[in-house]
Structure 1
């Protein structure tokens, strides 16, 4: 306590006193600064000429000189009970020690990093740039792909029947033709007024060129717009399960949203909508992906790792167990990792027909099917000269399993007109492979036909 008093009672020298400290911003005041930093002043350490109580700096100075003298005489014995330094001095020393520990730890970490990235040559440390990792290269590649692809993606705002909806589209060519989903431009079967927003943020009205309910595809066109940068279209026949993919769209109106995943399945037959609804029923021979697809992604591109469009994102599987249409285009549920895209080969074939004629004629095998039958697609009648018979049950198409009429219709729609598909047919208790030629069906035909 006496030591502490001495520190408090030490009076700071008057302004102008040459013996006073020149630094006056110490948090404990000028007196404390003098007690710490002027303790080796021999003149002050001897005594006080004005009769005041000797200051703590005088006592500390004598102790330091006595220790130096003992060291010079070779004495190793320390004072029996060395006086404790003032509390403020101990605090300062503790703070100094803490700072030393922190700085040492920092330097140790920095030194370790340097040791990893450099080499000691001739006593000198030469730093070298850290090698680029494979992950960094992949990230840079992905970013470059997206930067090149985004100008070919557009975002759609649709006003129809008093409601406003949003979707996405793919710019097909420099003429302003845009590919999207039919359910985007005709929500609930009602055609709407469409406004296109480009990647630059510029907006422009679009006209409807044509649409096809059965494939859930439509083509729009913007006129009087120059400098368009169309998307690069890929080949969906080359898509394999496990391929990395990215989806671009405007989920819930968030334009330019990018998600990634892999191809989960190909030739996935999906039927959405209802024959009784105003929007009709659509059939997809789909690419399945776990890349997140949400409402607003519809009509947008599914990209391969080179940035080429391999599919048009169209539907998601709803997690609602009570949903009458789990693959419905109007589902409000978010992604559960089950998204479906129309293969780009099928989509561009339909788009070409819509641009040329305003309507599309889907591929067909010229038969009518029993929609109620389960365990395959049961043929009820044959309209064209085909090696098929009424009563035949189709159980597979090109080795893809068929469980009902919807499956067969979807798989046939995914094939090319003029081509051929090999059906596995159950006839009279025997399983037979039968090659069937695909022809053009009448546009907007009854969807109980394949």
Structure 2
């Protein structure tokens, strides 16, 4: 009834229902009563459906757990997919990180430990007849000359002749020398003294004292040289000491003249040269031309530039090697060096005639008058004794044709004084052969 007053003994809405009475001796009877339950002794127990649901007590012994409605215990398919995705993403990130780290490590190792294929270290010994073998044999006996004179300074090359310190080089290297310094392949430098020189042969000898362990070069024989033979040149082109170049003999008996800077002809050299394509440049002068057995067969003396015309810088541009180098045959060098060491001067073979250097025909014509009104054929000279007359045209020397006065001088100077020669002369339109023995004259 709405108006009926409520009993003081009715259960309050905030109270919990009284726990049912447990039988004596049960475990429930032994439990202490809940502090907030107030049993009602005088009321009957309420029906089960009338008993209010227990209220959530956050401070109770077992707080209620919130469950996701409509999901099975342990998570549904959506949860499992999310978990799988998260796991896969984590694994991918981990794999990417590990892979990147391994890549960086591999790159570092490859950059610091890169090893390309390479030949093993081998013996540096070379066959004696190879270019390297020839160079190894000859280099200790080759020297670089630094010369100072009134006209300036220059560089040339030379090589050791004997254990006494004699060194052979070109005359044009030392002709104006005031101070001569010789540098060996080891780098040791000493002062040298001029022993003797000859402009006609473009050869000179200097000497060093107090040097131990000198290694003279072996001398070959230029008569044995054939076109096509391999050769090696050693020198100091452009002051680059101990430079080795190689080539072949391009020609033999090549008549050349060099020098003539003074204008009076006193410094012209006449050489029956060995021609080579081994690169020879300024500074190679006086250096050895070697055969396959590291023997000296020539003394490098002259080169032909690409263009001898022009002046100043333009001519300097053309001064490099173009494969036309010329060497004094060692047989001639040996004879002159022996004379320079012995007497300080060299002798020149002569035929005792004065040549007409203005003659433009083929051959070398003997003049009709000599210098100072003297006869062109020296009385009782080698030519006179052989029957040479003024106006004769000499066309051959020992059967080799000559085309001018310079070539005749070159062919004669390729011999020693006292050597016999056969000259072919043209007189009154007829050729005849005359035999003579070379005389001697002092050189410069």
Tell me the TM-score range normalised by the shorter chain. 0.5 to 0.7
- Matches of 2:78 and 2:413 in 1, distance apart? 109
Partner of 1:397: 397
CA contact (8 A) 1:48 1:54 kept: no
Q: Which residue of 2 aligns with 1:340?
A: 326
Paired residue for 2:377? Answer: 382
Tell me if the contact between 1:417 and 1:438 (Cα under 8 Å) persists in the aligned partners: yes
Q: Deviations over 1:35-56 (max 9, x none)?
A: xxxxxxxxxxx99748335369
1:307 lines up with 2:294 in the alignment:
yes
Structure 1 position 441, deviation (Å): 1.7
Q: Report whether the alignment pairs 1:219 with 2:205.
A: yes
State yes or no: 1:163 paired with 2:158. Answer: no
The offset of 1:430, in angstroms, is 1.5
Partner Cα separation in structure 1 for residue 344 and residue 308 of structure 2: 38
CA contact (8 A) 1:396 1:424 kept: yes
Q: 1:284 aligns with which of 254, 271, 276?
A: 271
Aligned equivalent of 2:45: none
Structure (1 or 2) with the greater helix fraction? 1
Counterparts of 2:227 and 2:79, CA distance in 1: 94
1:332–1:206 Cα change, 3 Å: farther
Cα shift at 1:146: 1.3
**Structure 1 residues 230 and 431, CA gap change in structure 2 (3 angstroms):** same
Aligned residues: 328
**Alignment gaps of 5+ in structure 1:** 1-45, 61-87, 96-109, 111-128, 130-135, 445-450
Q: How far is 1:419 from its partner? A: 1.3
Structure having the higher Rg:
2
- Per-residue displacement from partner, 1:51-105 (whole Å, max 9, x unpaired)? 33536969x9xxxxxxxxxxxxxxxxxxxxxxxxxxx9xx99xx9xxxxxxxxxx
Change over 3 Å in CA distance of 1:174–1:320 after alignment to 2 = same
**Residue 353 of structure 1, CA deviation:** 0.7
Which residue of 76, 82, 86 corresponds with 1:51?
A: 82
In 1: Cα distance, 2:265 partner to 2:416 partner = 28
- For the Cα contact (< 8 Å) 1:364–1:441, is it kept in 2? yes
For 2:87 and 2:397, the matched residues in 1 are separated by: 101
Asked whether the equivalents of residues 273 and 282 of structure 1 are also in contact (C-alpha less than 8 Å), the reply is yes
CA drift of 1:369 comes to 0.7
Change (3 A) 1:355 1:51: same
| SS of residue matched to 2:273 | strand
* Alignment partner of 1:320 out of 270, 283, 307: 307
Sort the Cα spacing of 1:143 and 1:217 in 2 relative to 1 into closer, same or farther, 3 A: same
Q: Who is 2:49 aligned against?
A: none
CA deviations over 1:357-376 (Å, ceiling 9, x no partner):
11111111221111111221
C-alpha change, 1:290 and 1:152, in structure 2 (3 Å) is: same
Distance 1:321 1:155 in 2: 27
Q: How does 1:173-212 map to 2 (within 5 A)?
A: 173-186=162-175, 190-212=176-198
**In structure 2, the residue corresponding to 1:54 is in which secondary structure?**
helix
Contact 1:248 1:297 in 2 (8 A): yes
Aligned twin of 1:238: 224
CA distances 1:255-307 after superposition (whole Å, capped 9, x unpaired): 01111111111111111222625862111111111111100000000001110
Question: SS of the counterpart of 1:367?
Answer: coil
Deviates more, 1:341-350 or 1:369-378: 369-378
TM-score by length of 1: 0.66
More displaced 10-residue stretch of structure 1: 381-390 or 163-172: 381-390
